A and B are shown apart, each in its own frame.
Chain A
Amino acid sequence: MTDIQFKVAKTVREAASLMAAAKGKGRILAGGTDLLVQMKAGMVTPGTIIDVKKIPEMVGITETKGSYRIGAATPAAVIGEHKKLRKAWPGVVEAINLIGSTQVQGRASAGGNLCNASPAADSVPALVAAGAIVTIQGPKTRRQVPVEKFNAGPGKTTLKAGEIVVSLTLPARPKTSGDAYLRLIPRTEMDIAVVGVGVSLTMKGDTCVSARVGLGAVAPTVLLVEAAAKALTGSKLDAKALDDAANACSAACRPIDDKRGTIRYRTKIAGVLLRLATAIAADRAKGISRPAHSQQGH
């Protein structure tokens, strides 16, 4: 039988050192909502579990000149209760608040959702649309990478040996901006996205002056769909712009037929959700409050 070491790190550097010392058998414990399930299912057998919840830098939300830094282990429920963040990035917050059930929200984190590297992770398309930057600590150095470049494939990140995710940073942006995240699940709860779309827009009057689109569950990693953003940017979000952007999303899909959906369905829904998410983001950019949409269709 193999014993599992449990370590509580007090600093980011200590956590990174412990990860390096574990020689590939280390697993970070934030909320544990993926790790414990995987251990129970026999999918992973860690040599060392490193608890990072006691590291102040990794838990909490700070604002600097309109930019928000979210500690990687901050529970989703805490993020959902942060009024200013919710106002600034409603799409990001609603996406993070879709990870798991209410009970899971008390522990699950955006950093964990990212590191689990599921193409269907709910928070990631919204973070991609938001242009979030991931801060990564290695045993010696710290680096930053755009969120869309972080994952390598299903269950695979680009983290190197001994590296851990410290935080996610959302950039400052003009007040006339808005974002939204929509996913499709066959049920109303307790399900995994068949497709997820995050849209972030900055408007000037009726014109969209900049846009980013993140697309989840349709490829091995969450995609930044630049062609969709290009179709929206400079437009008045008219029918043609929306058609072009929806088609760009459908065209970007490289999905598989599986137990959660068909290629045909995912490709279609990517376009459907793009239109709906864009409309919500645009309203929010114009200061029209739109309630969080958990998913489409219901």
Chain B
Amino acid sequence: MSKSQYKWIGTRPDRPDGADKVTGRARFAADFNLPGQLIGKVLRSPHAHARIKSIDTSKALALPGVKAVVTAKDFPEQADVIVPAGEMQVNLRDVTRNVMAREKVLYEGHAVAAVAATTDAIAKQALGLIKVEYQVLPHVIDVAEAMKPGAPLLHENLMTEGAKPAATKPSNIAKRIEFAKGDIDAGFAQAEVVIERDYTTQPVHQGYIEPHAALASASEDGQVQVWSTTQGHFQVRGFCARLLNIETSQIRVTPSEIGGGFGGKTVVYLEPLAIRLSQKAGKPVKMVMSREDVFRASGPAPGADLKVKIGAMKDGRIVAAECTIAMQAGAFPGSPVGPACMCSYACYDIDNIHVVGFDVVSNRPKVAAYRAPGAPISAFAVESTIDLLAQQLKMDPIELRLKNAATKGTKTHYGVTFGTIGMVETLNAAKNSPHYKTPVKPGFARGVAAGFWFNVGADSSAAAHVGEDGSVTVISGNPDIGGSRASLALMAAEELGIDYDKIRPVIADTASIGFNFVTGGSRVTFATGLAVVNSVRDLIRDLKGRAAKTWNVDPEGVIWENGMAKPAGSNVGTFEPLTIAQLAASAGRTGGPINGHAQLNVTGAGPGFGVHIVDLKVDADTGIVTVGRYTAAQDVGTAIHPSYVEGQLQGGAVQGIGWALNEEYIYNGQGKLANPGFLDYRIPVASDLPMIETVLVEVPNPTHPYGVRGVGEVPIVPPLAAVANAVARATNVRMYDLPISPPRLSAALDAAQPRMAAE
């Protein structure tokens, strides 16, 4: 598709928030302060699993400077109700227990009490004066251990939902889910080649640079204001309203600029505590997590144990595919095992599929969404197995995938039949990329993997206001985590036919715009983009009406072109076009302020597919992996602002590479996290990686006026397997367990040496 049909879409202007961010003027959550504010701090569990026998806060309350203390008693019990948390689901009964432990602490770092005091030092001292009596219980960290009969039970009444046969005894398995298509047994009976392997992945943190922080101010009349770092201030409002029994209209949440979220800021931790402390103390309360708190108590993405079995014909056609996933949910049910199961084989058109997932609780922090929740995990196992198949059949890994690629009309194992998708186009783009066409350098090896994410739509509201001079404010309600303000402004400029610089996109607080679902699911440029387009169309309808009034003609006789109202034809009459500035200047005479608005539940999100290529080398002595070249190809629908689309692909790839190579949670024997900091929780640093090359494939989403597909999540799906596949080809040793860290890879290489010598 040619981009020349657009004036603004596909261009690369500076982002509206850029200048503030590079000059340090942008305000992140910890930059918000109010006169008279108190400092709030959380007392956290030192135990992985313990019953709370008693909490004595009297000494803390007696300390001069301490203005309030809260424990679970300050939060009402919640019903067993499932609500969305970003792209995942949470139970309110669990949410209140996660923000403040009730009967038991379920992980090291679990909040037990919180204080508000006049200074940081007094608040810290007060935490030391709170006496909690614990009965320490046996704990369980690993999924496989947690699933065994006799494992320590986190929730004594947890019965496996969906178990076959029905569960008769409580366990740590919260749920069993199953997806099936075709006849799996017949498929394997037909297969000429069958490969079956087990895999494990480790939990990883989203690694946002900005720790969670919140400032809350509760007034005597019941009003509450909150400033916090979040991907969804409407969700902060909703959670706080439920957890504290406050009407939503009484809570006004203003999102700060956000220093990264990646899914991890779609839930609440500090906000309900800060509000309750503020209500009790009668003063604003500010709370900021330390990096240690972030690691110990905020949601990682889960780790999982997986089994994959794939059957194929000798020509590469996959005829049967199985996958079993046991996924960590953390302390409360609700891992993204569902999407992991659904994404597992979504890249392919396979007749017979059977996928089973288990949601398993253990004594770890409750997992939260992280870019394409669950999908990278199943993709690691599936795409590694497909690579084994390619090796066994001596087929090019892209050709093998092309032979099985999902296309329009493919019915997935989770029930959806694909519309217009770009899996084949993306595979071909990868195959024809400069990277894939370049021979692998000596000493390096090449890995390939694919990935899928649904992308979502959901609820969005937007408004467009014309100022007195004809410049336009575009108002939406999604925190901008990936350049969405620029994309929204570009779409508004395209619709209005005015310059990008004449449009100022802002993110309004919960009281200043209608409801918006979280920034997540790669939905903002797609769904909120549609709301913006519709609000601008509403605005144009109004502008045309003003011109009609000015000319005294029917509104139908006016068209909007290049930022001006024009007569639709000579039969309407001869009038000089009216610019938006002219219409704004005369607005008082034509009906007052000129505003447009739109709100809708957006469906028809276009699924996204990515194919990644990596060239890497392995140092045989040390097991250190060096990535030499990396390319991410992806069907992005239409790249509204190509630089920020490329940035999404690059960022996702880098996070996936970190997941593959070094990131892991290291627990000691007591179930305590040994590496709660960026020194020993190793995300990649800039010098670790080459520039990530991108190939933007544009297969427009037919349900969106500009063809937008979500782009933010797909790029974290392929890297885990792409890296593992390249390591396997570099060393002839396949790593089935992540991370492929130097000690692990070195041990695996050494273990393989005598075996390889014997062969």
Residues A277-298 near B (CB distance < 8 A): 296-298
Taken together as a complex, chains A and B put the C-alpha atoms of A60 and B290 apart, in Å, by: 37
Bound Cα distance from A265 to B686, whole angstroms: 25
Type the 1/0 row for B671-696, where 1 means its CB is closer than 8 Å to any CB of A. Answer: 00011001110101111100000000
In the complex, residue of chain A having the shortest beta-carbon distance to the beta carbon of B684: A187
CB atoms of A186 and B675 under 8 A apart:
no
Chain A contacts for B750, CB-based, 8 A:
268
| Residue A142, interface by CB 8 Å | no
In whole angstroms, what is the CA distance A139 to B714 when docked? 65
How many A residues touch B, CB cutoff 8 Å?
Answer: 24
Of the candidate stretches B196-204, B392-400, B404-412, B620-628, the one touching chain A is: B620-628
Any B CB within 8 A of the CB of A264:
yes
B662 sits at the interface (CB 8 A)? yes
CB-based contact A268/B746 at 8 Å: yes
Task: Report whether A191 and B687 are in contact in the complex, using a CB–CB cutoff of 8 Å.
Answer: no
B666 touches A272 (CB 8 A): no
Asked if A190 contacts B685 (CB within 8 A), the reply is: yes
CA distance A268 to B121 in the complex (A): 46
Question: Is A188 positioned at the interface, with any CB of B under 8 Å from its CB?
Answer: yes
A296 / chain B contacts, CB cutoff of 8 Å: 619, 621-622, 624
Is there an interface contact between A1 and B121, defined as CB atoms closer than 8 Å? yes
Distance, CA A25 to CA B679, complexed state (A): 28
A154 to chain B, nearest CB (A): 15
Given contacts A259-B680, A265-B746, whether A187 and B674 have CB atoms under 8 Å apart is no
Report whether B742 and A186 are in contact in the complex, using a CB–CB cutoff of 8 Å. Answer: yes
**Across-interface contacts of A272 in B (CB, < 8 A):** 621-622
A186 touches B746 (CB 8 A): no
- Cβ contact within 8 Å between A186 and B679: no
Chain A contacts for B621, CB-based, 8 A: 269, 272, 296-297
Chain B residues closer than 8 Å to A192, beta-carbon distance: 679-680
B680 touches A260 (CB 8 A): yes
Taking a contact as CB atoms under 8 Å apart, the answer to whether B743 and A259 are in contact is no
**Per-residue 0/1 for B729-759: is the Cβ within 8 Å of any A Cβ (1 yes, 0 no)?**
0000000000001110011001000000000
Residue numbers in A under 8 Å from B684 (CB-CB): 187
Tell me if A259 and B685 are in contact (CB < 8 A): no
Using CB atoms, name the residue of chain A closest to B674.
Answer: A259
Interface hub of A186, A189, A262, A269 (most chain B Cβ within 10 A): A186
Task: Point out the residues of chain A lying under 8 angstroms from B619, CB to CB.
Answer: 296-298
Residue from A42, A187, A268 within 8 A of B662 (CB atoms): A187
CB atoms of B682 and A188 under 8 A apart: no
> Does A258 reach chain B (CB closer than 8 Å)?
yes
Complex interface: chain B residues within 8 A of A186 (CB): 624, 662, 682, 741-742
B682 — which chain A residues lie within 8 A by C-beta?
186-187, 191
CB distance from A196 to the nearest CB of B (A): 13
- Chain A residues with CB below 8 A from B678, complex form: 190
Q: Which of chain B's residues have a CB closer than 8 A to the CB of A189? A: 685-688
Judging by beta carbons under 8 Å apart, are B624 and A297 in contact?
yes
- Closest Cβ of chain B to A212, distance in Å, is 23
Asked if A269 and B674 sit within 8 Å, CB to CB, the answer is: no
Q: Which residues of A contact B680 (CB under 8 A)?
A: 192, 259-260
Which one, A42, A187, A190, A262, contacts B743 given CB within 8 A?
A262
Closest CB in chain B relative to A262 CB, distance in Å: 5
Find out whether the CB atom of B626 lies under 8 angstroms from the CB atom of A297: yes
Report the nearest A residue to B739, measured CB to CB.
Answer: A186
- CB contacts (< 8 Å) of A187 on chain B: these are 662, 682, 684-685, 687-688
Check A15 for interface membership: any CB of B closer than 8 A.
no
Alpha-carbon distance A173/B124, docked complex (angstroms): 54
Q: Is A32's CB within 8 Å of the partner chain B? A: no
Is there a chain B Cβ closer than 8 Å to A261's Cβ?
yes
Complex: A272 Cα to B674 Cα, angstroms: 27
* Residues of B in contact, count (CB < 8 Å): 28
Q: In the bound complex, what is the Cα–Cα distance between A258 and B686 (angstroms)?
A: 25
Please indicate the chain B residues that have their CB under 8 angstroms from the CB of A297 in the complex: 619, 621-624, 626, 742
Shortest Cβ gap from A87 to chain B (Å): 27
Does the CB pair B742–A264 fall under 8 Å?
Answer: no
Chain A CB count within 10 A is highest, among B124, B622, B682, for B622
Residues of A within 8 A of B624 (CB): 184, 186, 296-298
The answer on a CB contact under 8 Å between A188 and B743 is no
Kindly list chain A residues whose C-beta atoms are within 8 Å of the C-beta of B674: 258-259
A125–chain B nearest beta-carbon distance, Å: 17
Residues 602-643 of B contacting A (Cβ, < 8 Å): 619, 621-624, 626
Q: Quote the shortest CB–CB distance from A12 to chain B (angstroms).
A: 33
B97-122 interface (Cβ within 8 A of A): 121-122
Q: A190: which B residues are within 8 A, CB to CB?
A: 678-679, 685
Q: How far is the CB of A126 from chain B (nearest CB, A)?
A: 20
* Contact of B743 with A261 in the complex, beta carbons under 8 Å: yes
| Min CB gap A190→B, angstroms | 5
A187 to B657, alpha carbons, bound, how many Å?
12
0 or 1 for each of B119-163: is its CB under 8 Å from A? (1 = yes): 001101000000000000000000000000000000000000000
- Return the chain A residue nearest B683 by Cβ: A187
CB distance from B272 to the nearest CB of A (A): 26
Compute how far the CA of A190 lies from the CA of B678 in the bound complex, rounded to whole angstroms. Answer: 9
Q: Mark A169-191, 1 if CB is under 8 A from B, else 0.
A: 00000000000000010111111
Contact string against B for A residues 57-97, beta-carbon threshold 8 Å, 1 for contact and 0 otherwise: 00000000000000000000000000000000000000000
Chain B minimum-CB-distance residue to A272:
B621
Kindly name the residue among B624, B662, B678 whose own CB sees the greatest number of chain A CB atoms within 10 A. Answer: B624
Complex alpha-carbon distance, A269 and B623, angstroms: 10
In chain A, positions 95-112 with a C-beta closer than 8 Å to chain B are none
With both beta carbons as reference points, the residue of chain B lying nearest to A263 in the complex is identified as B743
Q: Which residues of A contact B122 (CB under 8 A)?
A: 1
Contacting residues of chain A (157-214) with chain B, CB-CB under 8 angstroms:
184, 186-192, 194
List the B residue with the shortest CB-CB distance to A264: B747
Closest to B677 in A: A41
- Per the bound structure, the CA–CA distance linking A269 and B742 in Å amounts to 10
Q: Report Cα–Cα, A42/B124, bound state, in Å.
A: 10
Bound form: Cα–Cα A103–B715 in Å: 32
- Hey, which chain B residues are within 8 Å of A298, CB to CB? 619, 624, 626
Using A265-B742, A265-B743 as known contacts, say yes or no to A188 and B622 having CB atoms under 8 A apart: no
Q: Determine the chain B residues whose CB is within 8 A of the CB of A258 once the complex forms.
A: 674
**Nearest Cβ on chain B to A153's Cβ, whole angstroms:** 19
Least CB separation from B119: chain A residue: A1
Give chain A nearest CB distance to B65 CB in angstroms: 10
Shortest distance between the CB of A47 and any CB in chain B (Å): 16
A259 to B122 CA separation, bound complex (whole angstroms)? 33
Q: B689 — nearest CB in chain A belongs to which residue? A: A188
| Interchain CA distance A230-B688 in the complex, whole Å | 37
Q: Give CA–CA (A224, B621) in the complex, Å.
A: 23
- Please give me the residue from chain A that is nearest to B666 by CB atom: A259
A188 & B679 in contact (Cβ 8 Å cutoff): no
Chain B nearest CB, measured from A33 CB (Å): 13
For B666, B675, B678, B688, which residue has the most chain A Cβ atoms within 10 angstroms?
Answer: B688
Closest to A262 in B: B743
B746: which A residues are within 8 A, CB to CB? 265, 268-269
In the complex, what residue of chain A is closest to B290 when comparing beta carbons? A41
Q: With the chains together, A186 CA to B745 CA distance in Å?
A: 11
A188 to chain B: which residues have CB within 8 Å?
685, 687-688
How far apart are A265's CB and chain B's nearest CB, in angstroms? 4
Q: In whole angstroms, what is the CA distance A269 to B620 when docked? A: 11
Interface string of A23-52 (1 = CB under 8 A from B): 000000000000000000010000000000
20 pairs, CB–CB < 8 Å, chain A vs chain B: A184-B624, A186-B682, A186-B741, A187-B687, A188-B688, A189-B687, A191-B679, A191-B682, A194-B742, A261-B743, A264-B743, A265-B746, A268-B746, A269-B621, A269-B746, A296-B624, A297-B619, A297-B623, A298-B619, A298-B626
Additional A-B contacts beyond A1-B122, A296-B621 (6; CB < 8 A): A189-B688, A191-B679, A261-B742, A296-B624, A297-B624, A297-B626
Q: Which A residues fall within an 8 A CB radius of B?
A: 1, 42, 184, 186-192, 194, 258-262, 264-265, 268-269, 272, 296-298
8 cross-chain pairs, A with B, having the tightest CB-CB distances, nearest first: A297-B624, A265-B743, A297-B622, A297-B619, A188-B687, A259-B675, A259-B680, A272-B621
